[in-house]
Structure 1
Amino acid sequence: MKFIVQKFGGTSLVNDETRRMAAKKVIEAKNKGYLPVVVVSAIGRMGDPYATDTLLKLACDGNWELSPRESDLLMSCGEVISGVVMAATIQKEGHPAVFLTGLQAGIITDNNHNDARILKVNPENIIKHARDGKIIVVAGFQGATENGEITTLGRGGSDTTAAALGVALDAEWVDIYTDVEGIMTADPRIVSDARLLEVVTYNEICQLAHEGAKVIHPRAVEIAMQKDIPLRIKSTFSSAPGTLVTSRGEAYKGSIDITRDRTITGITYISDITQFRIPMDGCGDTAGLQRRMFEALALAGISIDFINVHPDVVIFTVKNSVAAKAAQILENMGLRPSILPDCAKVAAVGAGMTGVPGVMARIVGALADEKVQILQSSDSYTTIWVLVKKKDMEKSIRALHRQFGPGEKDIERR
């Protein structure tokens, strides 16, 4: 059985016209001999009647606080409504279809309401309906525990659903349909000459997603990578080929070595973050204090990022929204952090930078030419991060995009 999984986001399902365009993609795949399994998000975005955020606002307008269990039940309704309507749309086009909730599709999760992890997928019900000649529509973003409690998978969970089903069904590929034509070398709202990437590796897209690119959830990529299921990021509203996400070997089969093909794949960013610098001079048991500090922040549920630990100073970032809470915790410990709000983390991502000298020099040079101060930096094999003031963020993104020309060949070293 040649399964493919097709996931459609909320903007692809917002009205009759867009749903018919999505249904056309599904029927085209069926006519080519594939067995489509369609994963749907809730219809539309905040403000649309059946969007997840709209449903939550409806319940919480009276300043009530839903329990995680009840909020999961409420949030799961958006995908159920969307899935039933999508199945009906496909049926109107003359093709039998059936809708399944996450539980009916065999998606079993842990007990972590609002951000559950998929433990396993039992695809027997999907396979049965496929054998009966039906197109299967599955509610994204949701599953159920072993004892039948409804759970949701966190933001971007429909991508995760699609990847998990792709692995469970040994699908030919997973298509992620959205309102853009694929992965771009940078945010086109900031970089006017950003280009579409035809092929990226799993590792590259994971880094891009973790560092702010919102086209696909990184957890979905990690799941697909386990079984080397190709992902394709495509637009519901065009016939453009989109971006193929696959393994390094497949991505560059038949081309020159990746390290001579492109150094940087894309530039992305995360804004609205605050930098903390905590002096350690004169603190006595520095290691013990650092441990207590990080434990206190963790107990308060504060996620920290961009962490540099030195004998005389500790530097990290948090979201602007929790900066005041973090500052209070540190001050209660007798620490006096230096706090810089409204920063942005700009990342240059590319598997081709591994082992290549001079990449950081080019980053520093490009930003220096624009008189951008680097507040902090870090790197891995595939990513270099710099922290800048938010007012310099867009200028930094454009400068790095010009410097590396992501997506074009970068054979000459400077």
Structure 2
Amino acid sequence: MRIIVQKFGGTSVASPEKRAMVLGKIEKAREQGFYPVVVVSAMGRKGEPYATDTLLGLTKSVYKNIAVRELDQIMYCGEIISAVVMTATLQNAGLEAVMLTGGQAGIITDDNFTSARILKVDPTRLITLLKMRKVPIVCGFQGMTADGEFTTLGRGGSDTTASALGAALNAELVEIYTDVDGIMTADPRIVNNAKILDCISYGEVCQLAHQGAKVIHPRAVEIAMQKNIPLVVKSTFSDTPGTLITNIAKEDTRGNAVADRVATGVTYVNGLAQIKIEIVTDQSYNASSKVFRAMADAGISVDLINVHPGQIMFTVSEEIAEKAGTRIQDLGYKAGILYNCAKVSVVGGGMREVPGVMATFVEALSANNITILQTVDSHTSISVLIHKEDVEDAVTALHAKFGLDS
């Protein structure tokens, strides 16, 4: 069997007209000889009646500190409603469709409620349905523990569901349908001439996602990469080919080898605060272990870490900056907190061992009088911390400087 997994996001299934377009994508896959497995998210976005955030708001309006196990029970409902409605849409069109929860589809997770990890996928039931030429409609974002508890996989969990099913079924392709035509070189709301990428590597798209681009969940990419299953991010509402995510070096439509592209995209994260700790003794490395252990024990995620003799710097989300500062003071250190910061990153698999990449990055920002507060780089990305007010100028300047306009 030529199996394809097709995942449709919340905007794709939010209305009868949009679900008709989803139906068309499924029918086209069948006409091409594929056996589709369909994964759906909850319908719509916050404020719409069956969206996950709406259901969460309903629950938390009663008691905001409800236990995470019970939160998973309400969050399970959005995808169930969506999957049943999508199944009805297919059945009305004469297709034999069967709705399955994540657990019924064979997704077994740990018991880390609201952010569960997949332990294994048993595809037996799905394969049986496919052999009967039926179309499984699977609730994304969901799993089940070995002892039958409902769990959810965290934000972006429907992407993870699709990749996990694709890997378990040895699918030929996993398609991630959304409301955009593919992965772009930058946020088009900031850069008017941002381009759709024809092809991108697993590593590059993971970096883009980790650095703030809302393209696809990195866990989904990592799972697909293990089995070398191609992913395509494309639009439900057009016939554009989208962006291929793969391990294999290919050429884009302009004839440029992907591996030869220094930069792939520019992305950003707002809402950060910089924590700066001055250490008066030469004990900074010992101090760093205490500081980062305190952050971990407090459940505080840190980023952009720089440790130097006499100084420790890192970033946290603004919402928890005060909490981080209190934990540091409890250790006997003084922390300075700078709010209204943002991280801007350039990502590209071709950066490795290319001289002058950092110089190009700094020149772009300097030419626009943008102050760099902190830097971190790797083989495939360069990130800087800047003032939030400079984000649009920084993204636009870097996009042009690295030749992503052309």
Matched residue SS, 1:344 = strand
The count of aligned residue pairs is: 406
Q: Would you say 1:382 and 2:380 are equivalent positions?
A: yes
Q: Deviations over 1:118-142 (max 9, x none)?
A: 1111011011111111111000000
Q: Report if aligned partners of 1:262, 1:407 keep a CA contact under 8 Å in 2.
A: no
Q: Deviations over 1:258-306 (max 9, x none)?
A: 45x3210000011110001101123x64333222221111111111110
State the partner residue of 2:93.
93
Q: Report if aligned partners of 1:201, 1:248 keep a CA contact under 8 Å in 2.
A: yes
Q: Deviations over 1:309-354 (max 9, x none)?
A: 1111000000000011111111222222222111110010000111
Structure 1, gaps ≥5 residues long: 409-414
Give, as a single letter, the amino acid of the residue that structure 1 aligns with 2:311.
V
Q: Report if aligned partners of 2:105, 2:126 keep a CA contact under 8 Å in 1.
A: yes
Provide the TM-score with structure 1 as the length reference: 0.95
State the partner residue of 1:296.
294
Q: Report if aligned partners of 1:157, 1:217 keep a CA contact under 8 Å in 2.
A: yes
Range with bigger deviation, 193-202 or 129-138: 129-138
State the partner residue of 1:311.
309
Matched residue SS, 2:133 = coil
Q: Deviations over 1:382-410 (max 9, x none)?
A: 101111100001100000001012275xx
Matched residue SS, 2:249 = helix
Aligned mates of 2:264, 2:89 — CA distance in 1 = 38
Give, as a single letter, the amino acid of the residue that structure 2 aligns with 1:327.
G
Q: Report if aligned partners of 2:198, 2:253 keep a CA contact under 8 Å in 1.
A: no
Within 5 Å, give how 1:81-230 maps onto structure 2.
Answer: 81-230=81-230
Within 5 Å, give how 1:2-401 maps onto structure 2.
Answer: 2-250=2-250, 258=258, 261-282=260-281, 285-401=283-399
Aligned mates of 2:137, 2:21 — CA distance in 1 = 15
Q: Percent same amino acid among aligned pairs? A: 54
RMSD between aligned alpha carbons? 1.5
Aligned mates of 1:241, 1:289 — CA distance in 2 = 51
Structure 2, gaps ≥5 residues long: none
Aligned mates of 2:288, 2:310 — CA distance in 1 = 11
Q: Deviations over 1:188-240 (max 9, x none)?
A: 00000001000000000000011111121000000000000000000000000
Q: Report if aligned partners of 2:199, 2:250 keep a CA contact under 8 Å in 1.
A: no
Q: CA deviation at 1:62?
A: 2.4
Q: CA deviation at 1:256?
A: 5.9
Aligned mates of 1:165, 1:251 — CA distance in 2 = 28
